[in-house]
Structure 1
């Protein structure tokens, strides 16, 4: 059975050796907002890029050698993954246009060297402007299959008017969007003290907040061609779907505490505009994954591994989706490759 992994992390292969590239990453982390970026050498001699927020609380670790094309293809071969879609993990929130161009050029080179197995996504600052839009178009002309966005930038989620010029262009080009999480939600102080709460649940809160704001803002009426694929099950959105779809009361109430309008519109957005990747699905559990598919529909989920956060996540995820969840063959094929092929128009 064919397998497509839509969440393979990409960083420039010369990140640790090219001073211009490394400085492009280090210099853009917003230190004034508590983001601390450093490079340190590990015991085995390899270097790692570390992101902390606040100082002393690690949220991201990028290890030298994990991001070259050979490492990607070897992991795919080991896990039984036929094709992969690359995205920049998290840093896309801050990168300047000059660094984005370096990222995009290397992604294009990796695609050419992958023998047709890897595909790129356009990494562009999301603020509109001719130069940014031109870079998006250049990436698409070079074969990028989607544009990537962070689920928020600084204090702003994607429903903010600041992103309207860029979303105008994406809507007009009718290109699919992959929305990656950021290290922490905007309101992060309550989740930082414990490692797993910070590094897993923090991302879930961030994604769920982003999806909710997109749905309740009505932004998809303005941009009906947008198709957002959110990572990590959209932050557990399957558990929120019924709760957050407005329901009118059947009794006379003393006051209206919730907005009972808009349920039909939100259901339409969930059907047409919001999709999800199953980032390391085995970690979520059999019952949860089966529930997600049942609630939001098999046509709304695609496999993702988040490689190389853990090398094992790719193979464990494939094994889990192939052999552990109880779904029919058509559903299994949809989430393993058919949905990705259709969403991103993959030549596979």
Structure 2
């Protein structure tokens, strides 16, 4: 399989739609550099962006160059990996390290740049909107502008918002807007907040190796157990890295949460209408970003359902064309490979790719 040419256009029987592909305006990266010079900088931000923006090693240098590109290099990399279409979203930590005014301005800039790239290459790109979460009215207005005027297909939330989470009532207007607009929220990781990061940072576990998944998985669980999906039953959430390990904990999550509810142990938590696993199967979709491992992919398809698992590359942080070959070789018949690579993404993000090789001649 290694070395087999990867092609776009659907001749393999499906389009490969990559659903977690990062972008960063150069202006935002410059603002990040300014933040890195501040005296009381968030330790997670310093660890993550200090590495990617200041290291001269080959990988971070390539990542920061590719992040800001929405043209020739990105398209060439997609072609070389056989990726037909990429869903672009503002990279972590996105707007979520800025004060509300600057967060709003950065979100508008990023949304306009992504929308411009989508207009220039409608067969290759779709995009998600960014917002400044701490000013909810402004965030709702920008999400509505992004979807209705710019044609963006959802909302990216780079996990915690300066230590706060989407289950807090202050963010309900944003969740309500996403539900009303019928667009998904992509819950993307960032490094854990100050209150969580110390033991991970000491051992070099704060980033993608472990800390991302721990923090983002907890964020999604908070949304579930605090009743977000009872309040907003039509809300759709997409989470990468095969669900940040939550699918592997379904039995224990259901068992222990039911025990907590019977004992009324945590008075601040509501009594839920469904089990934890039922919310994951009803309101959540997972992608394979950074997790091109057949046993884990097949397990998630089994326990969540084949309509809940989608392909993603995690470009440019993880750009390994051989991972595409590995997922092409999943032990699935052609209709299920097409569901995995193409139709799930089209349905979740409401994509219109009818002109792209007639959506793999479907």
CA distance in 1: counterparts of 2:258 and 2:105, whole angstroms: 53
Partner of 1:57: none
| RMSD of aligned alpha carbons | 2.9
> Residues 1-348 of structure 1: matches in 2 within 5 Å?
1-12=14-25, 15=26, 21-27=28-34, 31-34=40-43, 35-36=45-46, 39-40=53-54, 42=56, 48=61, 62-68=63-69, 69-92=71-94, 93-95=96-98, 96-140=103-147, 141-184=149-192, 187-195=196-204, 198-246=207-255, 262=272, 264-282=274-292, 285-312=293-320, 315-323=321-329, 325-348=330-353
Residue-by-residue CA offset, 1:212-245 (whole Å, 9 max, x unaligned): 1121111111112210001111211111112101
CA distance in 2: counterparts of 1:156 and 1:248, whole angstroms: 22
CA shift in 2, pair 1:256/1:76, >3 Å: same
Aligned residue pairs: how many?
A: 319
SS at match of 1:6: strand
CA shift in 2, pair 1:309/1:107, >3 Å: same
CA shift in 2, pair 1:150/1:66, >3 Å: closer
Deviation at 1:64, TM superposition (A): 2.2
CA shift in 2, pair 1:28/1:277, >3 Å: farther
Deviation at 1:205, TM superposition (A): 0.6
CA shift in 2, pair 1:133/1:26, >3 Å: farther
Asked if the contact 2:136/2:171 (under 8 Å) is kept, the reply is: no
CA shift in 2, pair 1:145/1:241, >3 Å: same
Q: Which has the higher helix share?
A: 2
Deviation at 1:194, TM superposition (A): 3.8
Which structure has the higher relative contact order (CA within 8 Å, separation 6+)? 2
Asked if the contact 1:280/1:317 (under 8 Å) is kept, the reply is: no
CA distance in 2: counterparts of 1:71 and 1:193, whole angstroms: 36
SS at match of 2:255: coil
Deviation at 1:134, TM superposition (A): 2.1
SS at match of 2:351: coil
CA distance in 2: counterparts of 1:248 and 1:83, whole angstroms: 39
Q: Which has the higher strand share?
A: 1
SS at match of 2:152: coil
Deviation at 1:311, TM superposition (A): 2.3
SS at match of 2:186: strand
SS at match of 1:154: coil
Asked if the contact 2:227/2:272 (under 8 Å) is kept, the reply is: no
Once the two structures are overlaid, the 10-residue window that deviates more, 326-335 or 292-301, is 326-335
CA distance in 2: counterparts of 1:43 and 1:281, whole angstroms: 24
Deviation at 1:28, TM superposition (A): 5.6
CA distance in 1: counterparts of 2:253 and 2:297, whole angstroms: 19
Residue-by-residue CA offset, 1:54-100 (whole Å, 9 max, x unaligned): xxxxxxx9422453121221111011111110111212222411111
Asked if the contact 2:66/2:316 (under 8 Å) is kept, the reply is: no
CA distance in 2: counterparts of 1:310 and 1:271, whole angstroms: 27
User: Normalised by the size of structure 2, how large is the TM-score?
Assistant: 0.79
Asked if the contact 2:23/2:67 (under 8 Å) is kept, the reply is: no
Deviation at 1:137, TM superposition (A): 1.6
SS at match of 2:107: helix
CA shift in 2, pair 1:102/1:311, >3 Å: same
CA distance in 2: counterparts of 1:180 and 1:224, whole angstroms: 21
